[in-house]
Amino acid sequence: MLEYLRDLGAQARQRLGQVRKLEELGEWKREYLGKKGAVSELLRGLGGLPAEDRPLVGRAANALRAELEAELERREQVLQQEFVQAALRTERVDVTLPGRRPAVGRVHISHRVLRRIYDIFAEMGFQVFDSPEVETDRRNFRSLNIPPHHPARDMWSTFYTTREGVLLRTHTSPGQAWAMQAYCPEPIRVILPGKCYRYEQVTARSEFMFYQVEGLAVGEGITMADLKGVIIAFTRRMFGSERQVRFRCSYFPFTEPSVEVDMDCILCQGQGCRVCKYTGWVEILGAGMVHPVVLRNGGYDPQHFGGFAFGMGPERITMLKYGINDIRWFFSGDLRFLRSL
Ligand code: PHE
């Protein structure tokens, strides 16, 4: 019996030595140490032995089990080690390869130019005033002296919502009504930046969404000379002190008189090129003296108060400043464009 035990032990050890993979250890364990394994079988069979042999054989069998268990553990450790070593060999990371540089973002060019615009107007005492992008027909049109069916509405075709009288603003001018509501009867000196929407064909010169920066000054004794001074000062701070500015008569229902402002083309210094369509001048904004109807709608008595307003497109300003020929680049998300500025 003891001899059988010795053979069993030798066989188990030999087989254990042949196990090459961690997953195969379970099988070996079942075969020798499991409930139905060879050693358990042997212990169960003890009852069949003569009484005087039982303690000896029992002790030897238990000892064998303990030894095999210990050896199983050792083998497991060895295989584990081998497994890790093999993984380290085959899955080695080459630390000498150059790393991947994390992409560092930056402020979008539209916002960089917007910040510059804020700075320039801040120097002249204008505060930034926020107003909503979703507007009512009343504020976007009627408060600005554009009644329903007025032909001027054709200039600002927009996206209407399914709610009656609610639309995406076509310009920042409805912000004038918000500012007047907030300030009246105090004087006002604000700029109103933000997104605007127009239902029109997208081309190199027009997008369906774009930014505007509105300016509004309301107070006693404000004249057109103040408007001209502010615009000229802005243009020279933005584009250089040698810039020339001219004011052309124009029409907006919410200003009287109304003007459009041109600057001499910075690309050709007024000589004439494709960007200025060979005129030497480029339009930069619309402006005028706040219409008495608009002042009254905002709670100001036009007998005592006057004001000026202007509206500019910062994308257009950016295009002129950086010589960009297509407005669609701005919101295309094209990194080649964004990185180039
Ligand atoms: N709101 C006008 C536009 O979008 C621009 C403008 C603003 C003109 C303020 C005059 C005064 O075209």
What is the Å distance from ligand 1's center to 286 Cα?
Answer: 5
Q: For position 109, what pLDDT does the model report?
A: 93
Q: For position 318, what pLDDT does the model report?
A: 92
Atom of ligand 1 nearest to the CA of 285: 5
* 10-residue mean pLDDT series, the chain (341 residues): 84 89 88 87 83 86 89 91 90 87 90 96 98 96 93 84 95 98 97 94 87 97 97 96 95 97 90 87 96 98 97 92 88 90 86
Q: Whose CA is nearest to atom 5 of ligand 1?
A: 311
Cis ω before 257 (30° cut-off from 0):
yes
- Identify which of 205, 252, 260 to mutate to test ligand 1's pocket (most ligand atoms within 8 A of the CB): 252
Q: How far is CA 214 from CA 2, 131, 141, 270, in A?
A: 103, 11, 15, 27
Q: For position 325, what pLDDT does the model report?
A: 84
Q: For position 239, what pLDDT does the model report?
A: 94
Q: Superfamily assignment of 109-339 in CATH? A: Bira Bifunctional Protein; Domain 2 (3.30.930.10)
Q: How many CB atoms are located within 10 Å of the residue 185 CB?
A: 12
- By the 8 A CB rule, do 325 and 275 touch? yes
Q: Whose CA is nearest to atom 10 of ligand 1?
A: 287
Per DSSP, what are the bridge partners of residue 188? 218
